[in-house]
């Protein structure tokens, strides 16, 4: 691959290199495709979350009210809609809702879906294989010290910009696993401090997310008792995210929000490595069908999924290859190379991808606080693209 030719010959790549705000429309959107996952996989994941609900209910008091289910509210934000459309000088028919994954228990981010799911799946497998647990048990027994002892024979590790480490680190440490997280320079100090306080081994890297995850994967490969959660290619993570679709279907119904041909649902999702927005989009397309239109949002300085999908090179190209610096205030999205899954599954499911400048998300983050009293990290507001 000759990067210079790619930049010269492909307008979109040129614009990305110039750090312009762009909107790319996916030419493959809506075409037929055979996917490696289907609806049964989503329900399998939901059933596992349900089996663990009694464990969460007792182990994490913040989940008592929801009976051990980790879910976030769907919130109308009319004042924010008014402020943003005024600020950006455009008009918008329809209503704007915020899926408040910032309020998800345990990590306060979407990573409480995929990250925690993969830990649960591994823990269940270890416990079942040991003969100490059956699928019909009340999983609150996993709080007993004999399970702690069992899990302490295993390590769980992950590479992360912060939030994935929080979700995996906290739950795996509670279960009794020895947890190691490999964190990139973007990771916020408070996230590292919180993990260390939970007994998690935090290894910091001066480089990017890609270098942190590569180092973590290599270290884990040397240790047969170490389970590595791979944000660049895990289908378990992906399916954990997809469960949100079943939950959202119910929330839409409860709030009388119609989704049909005359009432299409446009879902804007911030993308880092592309795993969480792809899992959610796959779920929504599978559960709610063709009237849902997923759109990703990425920072102009690090549009990794867009670069991978627009060139068709997916994980074979990184934003550093075209000379971008990868620096953004949206630390949850600071990933230079997309996952191996995102581009592949989203090839026909994704309407398009927009990019945003940091100044815009910082303004939106403040506006969301001023208008709706909702506090989110900058990663979350890029989705309010004009």
Ligand X SMILES: *Cc1c(COP(=O)(O)O)cnc(C)c1O
Token code pair at residue 253: 């119904």
Phi/psi of residue 215, nearest 5 degrees: -65, -40
**Closer residue to ligand X (CB): 68 or 332:** 332
What's the closest the beta carbon of residue 244 comes to ligand X, in angstroms? Answer: 12
Closest among 232, 146, 149, 225 to 180, alpha carbons compared: 225
What's the closest the beta carbon of residue 277 comes to ligand X, in angstroms? Answer: 5
Residue of the chain from 335, 345, 346, 351 that contacts ligand X (CB under 6 A): 335
Total residues binding ligand X (CB under 6 A): 18
Q: State the binding string over 260-279 for ligand X (x if CB under 6 A, else -).
A: ----------xxxxxxxx--
Angle at 382 between CA 233 and CA 49, to 5 degrees: 45
263 DSSP assignment = B
Question: What dihedral do alpha carbons 280, 160, 105, 72 form, nearest 10°?
Answer: -20
**Closer residue to ligand X (CB): 109 or 328:** 109
Question: Which range binds ligand X by CB under 6 A, 31-39, 40-48, 184-192, 330-338?
Answer: 330-338
**Closer residue to ligand X (CB): 111 or 192:** 111
What's the closest the beta carbon of residue 111 comes to ligand X, in angstroms? Answer: 5
Q: How many residues does the chain have?
A: 386
What's the closest the beta carbon of residue 271 comes to ligand X, in angstroms? Answer: 4
Query: 176 with 198: CB under 8 angstroms?
Result: no
Chain centre distance of CA 343: 15
Question: Which range binds ligand X by CB under 6 A, 36-44, 138-146, 170-178, 332-340?
Answer: 332-340
* Bridging pattern class, strands 74-76 and 178-183: unpaired
Question: Which range binds ligand X by CB under 6 A, 168-176, 253-261, 328-336, 344-352?
Answer: 328-336
Residue of the chain from 240, 283, 303, 332 that contacts ligand X (CB under 6 A): 332
8 DSSP assignment = H
Tell me the C-alpha distance between 284 and 25, whole Å: 19
What's the closest the beta carbon of residue 256 comes to ligand X, in angstroms? Answer: 28
**Closer residue to ligand X (CB): 15 or 101:** 101
Is residue 377 a contact residue for ligand X (CB under 6 A)?
Answer: yes
**Closer residue to ligand X (CB): 274 or 303:** 274
Angle at 228 between CA 224 and CA 232, to 5 degrees: 140
Is residue 383 a contact residue for ligand X (CB under 6 A)?
Answer: no
Closest among 306, 339, 333, 341 to 322, alpha carbons compared: 306
* Bridging pattern class, strands 97-99 and 74-76: antiparallel
| Through-space distance between the first and last CA atoms of the chain, rounded to whole angstroms | 34
Closest among 338, 283, 276 to 309, alpha carbons compared: 338
CA Rg value for the chain: 20
Tell me the C-alpha distance between 334 and 260, whole Å: 35
What's the closest the beta carbon of residue 4 comes to ligand X, in angstroms? Answer: 28
**Closer residue to ligand X (CB): 120 or 380:** 380
Closest CB to ligand X belongs to which residue? 272
Is residue 309 a contact residue for ligand X (CB under 6 A)?
Answer: no
**Closer residue to ligand X (CB): 127 or 158:** 158
Tell me the C-alpha distance between 336 and 148, whole Å: 37
What's the closest the beta carbon of residue 335 comes to ligand X, in angstroms? Answer: 6
Residue of the chain from 112, 242, 379, 381 that contacts ligand X (CB under 6 A): 379
Residue 250, burial from CB neighbour count under 10 angstroms (0-12, 13-18, 19+): exposed
The interface with ligand X within residues 102-121 (CB under 6 A) comprises 109-111
**Closer residue to ligand X (CB): 107 or 178:** 107
**Closer residue to ligand X (CB): 55 or 241:** 241
What's the closest the beta carbon of residue 273 comes to ligand X, in angstroms? Answer: 4
**Closer residue to ligand X (CB): 57 or 182:** 182
Tell me the C-alpha distance between 179 and 227, whole Å: 10
Which parts of this chain interact with ligand X (CB under 6 A)?
109-111, 163, 270-277, 332-333, 335, 377, 379-380
């Amino acid at each position: 691959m000759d990067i210079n030719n790619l930049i010269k010959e492909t307008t979109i790549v040129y614009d990305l290199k110039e750090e312009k705000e762009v909107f790319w429309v996916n030419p493959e959107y809506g075409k037929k495709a055979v996917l490696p996952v289907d609806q049964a996989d989503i329900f399998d994941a939901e059933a596992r979350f349900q089996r663990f609900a009694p464990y969460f209910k007792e182990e994490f008091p913040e989940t008592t009210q929801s009976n051990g289910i980790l879910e976030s509210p769907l919130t109308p934000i009319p004042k924010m809609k008014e402020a943003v459309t005024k600020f950006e000088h455009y008009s918008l028919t329809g209503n704007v809702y915020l899926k408040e994954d910032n309020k998800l228990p345990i990590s306060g981010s979407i990573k409480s879906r995929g990250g925690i799911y993969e830990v649960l799946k591994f823990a269940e497998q270890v416990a079942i294989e040991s003969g100490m647990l059956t699928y019909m048990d009340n999983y609150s027994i996993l709080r007993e010290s004999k399970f702690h002892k069992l899990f302490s024979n295993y390590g769980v590790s992950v590479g992360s910009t912060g939030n994935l480490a929080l979700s995996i680190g906290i739950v795996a440490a509670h279960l009794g696993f020895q947890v190691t997280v490999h964190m990139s320079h973007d990771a916020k100090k408070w996230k590292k401090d919180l993990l260390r306080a939970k007994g998690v081994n935090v290894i910091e890297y001066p480089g990017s997310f890609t270098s942190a995850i590569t180092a973590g994967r290599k270290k884990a490969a040397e240790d047969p008792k170490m389970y590595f959660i791979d944000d660049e290619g895990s289908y378990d993570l992906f399916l954990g995210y997809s469960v949100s679709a079943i939950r959202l279907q119910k929330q839409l119904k409860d709030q009388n929000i119609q989704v049909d041909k005359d009432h299409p649902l446009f879902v804007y999702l911030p993308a880092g490595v592309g795993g969480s927005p792809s899992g959610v989009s796959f779920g929504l397309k599978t559960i709610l069908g063709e009237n849902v239109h997923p759109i990703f949002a990425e920072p102009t300085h690090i549009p990794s999924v867009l670069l991978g999908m627009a060139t068709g090179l997916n994980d074979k190209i990184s934003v550093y290859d075209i000379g971008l610096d990868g620096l953004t205030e949206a630390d949850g999205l600071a990933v230079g190379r997309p996952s191996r899954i995102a581009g592949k599954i989203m090839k026909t499911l994704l309407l398009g991808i927009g990019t945003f400048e940091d100044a815009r998300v910082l303004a939106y983050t403040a506006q969301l606080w001023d208008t709706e009293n909702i506090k989110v990290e900058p990663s979350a507001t890029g989705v309010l693209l004009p």
